[in-house]
Structures are given as structure tokens and as C-alpha cells.
């Protein structure tokens, strides 16, 4: 039996250029970017060594913001020298509530080989002020290039995990499996 892979939580403080992934922001987006920026250290911990060297892959992603959810393949890949999380635009009026300095929390097993889904939870200060404040309290002074990575055994991971759950086992199984 393969050993259990540890989880990581990646916190991304959204920037104006990240908001192009959301349909509600595309009209006003100043950037042409249609993805959320990731860093090389994030990609290195998130993807298996083979996928990292290959420059990424489409992964099964479950996106949640409040009552809105979306599940579809999203590309986690290298574009030039930068890593991005892309895919189809996220549709829903609720996403208009997100702004720069809000958060994307990405939860996954370390070195995911695309056999396990990735959970993306968006936290907005307008719609979820208490949860947003909780994330700020944990990540303040820890963000580098708007990103922080937390290992499963760290105290910060425990605090973030209490705010946002991992993918439930029943959901982790793809439809038809």
C-alpha cells in the first residue's frame, strides 16, 4: 500500500490581473491574463516531479465560492517563465464580489500526479468578512509574491484547514468511477 501523501494549502492573495479568470470581472479587467498566477515553488510542491518537468497538466479542480461551485479540468501549467492556474472562465454573479486582496486557497496532496482532485476555495472580504479576517490573521507577513504555502503538519495549516475543508472522499471520486 502506498504511503499517504501529505496535504498542502496554498494561499494566493488575488491581484487585479488574477481577476480575469472570472466572467464578472472580464469587462473591467485591465490585464489580458485569464488565469491566476502561481509561483515556481508552488508548482514544485503541488505537481509530481514528472508533471513539473513536463510544464504542467489539466487537473480535476473543484472551485467553491459561497454557494457557487464548479468542477472541471483546469490547467496548472507554465506559460513562458510563469506558472498559472487557468481554464474556462468562472461564471456566476457571486464572483463579482471578489476583488484584489481577497484569497484563493488551494488544497491538494503534495506532488499531485493528477490522480487526486484539487480544491479551490475563494474567500472574499465583502461576502465572508469573518473568514477573510481569519485568513488574514494567519497569512499576514507570510506572503511572498502574494503566495504562501503551508505544509500539513504546520500550525498555520491546522488553522486554515479549520476554515476550509479538504475534498470529501465521496466527491474525490470522479463521476462514473
- Residue 105, in any domain of the structure: yes
Q: Give the chain's domain count.
A: 1
Half-sphere exposure (CA, 13 Å, Cβ side) for 73? 8
DSSP secondary structure code for residue 134 in this structure = H
- Residue 147, in any domain of the structure: yes
- Residue 177, in any domain of the structure: no
- Residue 57, in any domain of the structure: yes
CB 106, CB 46: distance < 8 Å: yes
- Residue 24, in any domain of the structure: yes
Per-residue pLDDT of the chain (177 residues; tens, 9 = 90+): 566 789 999 999 999 989 988 888 767 666 667 899 999 999 999 999 999 999 999 999 999 998 888 999 999 999 999 999 999 989 888 998 999 999 999 999 999 999 999 999 999 999 999 999 999 999 999 999 999 999 999 999 999 998 887 766 555 555 444
DSSP secondary structure code for residue 164 in this structure = S
Domain that holds residue 77: 7-169
- Residue 111, in any domain of the structure: yes
Q: Which residue's C-alpha cell is 472580464?
A: 26
Query: Could you report the per-residue pLDDT of 4-18, keeping only the tens digit for each?
Result: 789 999 999 999 989
- Residue 88, in any domain of the structure: yes
Query: Could you report the per-residue pLDDT of 95-111, keeping only the tens digit for each?
Result: 989 999 999 999 999 99
C-alpha cell, 72: 472541471
CATH number for the domain harbouring residue 163: 2.40.330.30
CA R_g for the chain: 15
- Residue 149, in any domain of the structure: yes
Amino acid at each position: 500500500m502506498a504511503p499517504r501523501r501529505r496535504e498542502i494549502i496554498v494561499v494566493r492573495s488575488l491581484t487585479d490581473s488574477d481577476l480575469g479568470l472570472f466572467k464578472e470581472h472580464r469587462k473591467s479587467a485591465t490585464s489580458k491574463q485569464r488565469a491566476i498566477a502561481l509561483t515556481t515553488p508552488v508548482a514544485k510542491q503541488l505537481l509530481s516531479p514528472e508533471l513539473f518537468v513536463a510544464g504542467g497538466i489539466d487537473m480535476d479542480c473543484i472551485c467553491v465560492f459561497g454557494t457557487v461551485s464548479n468542477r472541471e479540468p483546469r490547467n496548472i501549467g507554465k506559460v513562458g517563465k510563469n506558472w498559472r492556474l487557468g481554464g474556462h472562465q468562472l461564471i456566476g454573479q457571486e464572483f463579482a464580489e471578489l476583488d484584489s486582496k481577497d484569497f484563493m486557497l488551494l488544497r491538494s496532496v503534495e506532488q499531485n500526479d493528477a490522480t487526486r482532485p484539487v480544491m479551490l476555495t475563494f474567500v472574499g472580504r465583502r461576502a465572508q468578512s469573518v473568514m477573510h479576517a481569519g485568513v488574514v490573521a494567519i497569512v499576514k507577513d507570510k506572503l511572498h509574491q502574494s503566495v504562501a504555502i503551508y505544509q500539513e503538519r504546520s500550525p498555520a495549516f491546522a488553522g486554515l484547514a479549520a476554515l476550509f475543508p479538504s475534498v470529501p472522499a465521496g466527491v474525490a471520486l470522479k463521476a462514473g468511477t
